[in-house]
Amino acid sequence: MARPRTFDPDQAIDAVMRVFWQKGFAETSYGDLVEASGVSRKGLYTTFGNKEALFIASLRHYRQTVFRSILSALNKEAITLEDISTMLKELGQLAVSEAGSSGCFMANTASDDTLQISEVKYQIDAHLQSMSHSFSEALQRAGVKAKRAKVLGHYLTGVMQGLFLLAHARAREDIIEDYIAVAISTL
């Protein structure tokens, strides 16, 4: 008879995600994941699979938790362009803070060799599409015509990816402020 699971898979994948986010796929060992999650190697492997499967589960978890939270301001029904500008400014402030120094897990992964793994590429594409759609829908609710909102949604998706790469590179605050100011000027 199999023993019942003695850990919370959501807590385990959250811990695993943070290790991959900090170190990247190549620099993370399965031992690092065991240590961070507090789950035995067998427990992780039985629940999630090998290191690649854990990485993909981490990307999904990031999209469903961290990035969903970051974009939550765009869900406001009566959103204005000022609300979107404020969100971008706040993300710029996050990018220059210690909390933002890890950048975006998805942006970091998009510039990594793991992008050659088809399921990783799928997760990145889904992330970018979801972000673009969120911006486009919010812009339309803020009064921007559909065609322009779609173009701006794509553009702001690129801005977000660039912003978090700048954060990960620990770019100077004035560079990030100017970057965000130019993005806001397009609205």
Whether 120 and 91 have beta carbons less than 8 Å apart is answered as no
Same domain, 24 and 82: no
Asked, for residue 88, whether it belongs to a domain, the answer is yes
Number of domains in the chain: 2
Same domain, 166 and 95: yes
**pLDDT at residue 143, as a whole number:** 97
Same domain, 83 and 167: yes
Same domain, 121 and 177: yes
The owner of tokens 């060992």 is 29
DSSP code at position 2? P
Same domain, 155 and 174: yes
Asked, for residue 66, whether it belongs to a domain, the answer is no
Same domain, 51 and 77: no
In Å, how far are 63, 76, 83, 131 from 79, measured between CA atoms? 22, 5, 6, 16
Q: What is the pTM of this model?
A: 0.89
Same domain, 103 and 171: yes
Domain that holds residue 41: 8-60
Structure tokens at 130: 């979801």
The residue ranges of DSSP E strands in the chain, in sequence order, are none
Same domain, 119 and 32: no
Same domain, 37 and 113: no
**pLDDT at residue 131, as a whole number:** 96
Largest CA distance in the chain: 63
Asked, for residue 26, whether it belongs to a domain, the answer is yes
DSSP states of 142-179 as a string? TT--HHHHHHHHHHHHHHHHHHHHHHHTT--HHHHHHH
**Where a domain ends, among 60, 84, 101?**
60
Structure tokens at 68: 């969903």
Same domain, 46 and 101: no
Instruction: Determine how many CB atoms are found less than 10 A away from the CB of residue 14.
Output: 17
Using CA atoms, how far apart are residues 104 and 66, in angstroms rounded to an integer?
9
Residue whose C-alpha is closest to residue 102's, from 51, 179, 170: 170
Same domain, 55 and 80: no
Same domain, 180 and 124: yes
Asked, for residue 2, whether it belongs to a domain, the answer is no
The CATH number covering residue 42 comes to: 1.10.10.60
Asked, for residue 96, whether it belongs to a domain, the answer is yes
Asked, for residue 3, whether it belongs to a domain, the answer is no
pLDDT in tens, the chain (187 residues): 455 557 888 999 999 999 999 999 999 999 999 999 999 999 999 999 999 999 999 999 999 999 999 999 999 999 999 999 999 999 999 999 998 888 899 999 998 888 899 999 999 999 999 999 999 999 999 999 999 999 999 999 999 999 999 999 999 999 999 999 999 999 9
**Where a domain ends, among 60, 82, 101?**
60
Asked, for residue 1, whether it belongs to a domain, the answer is no
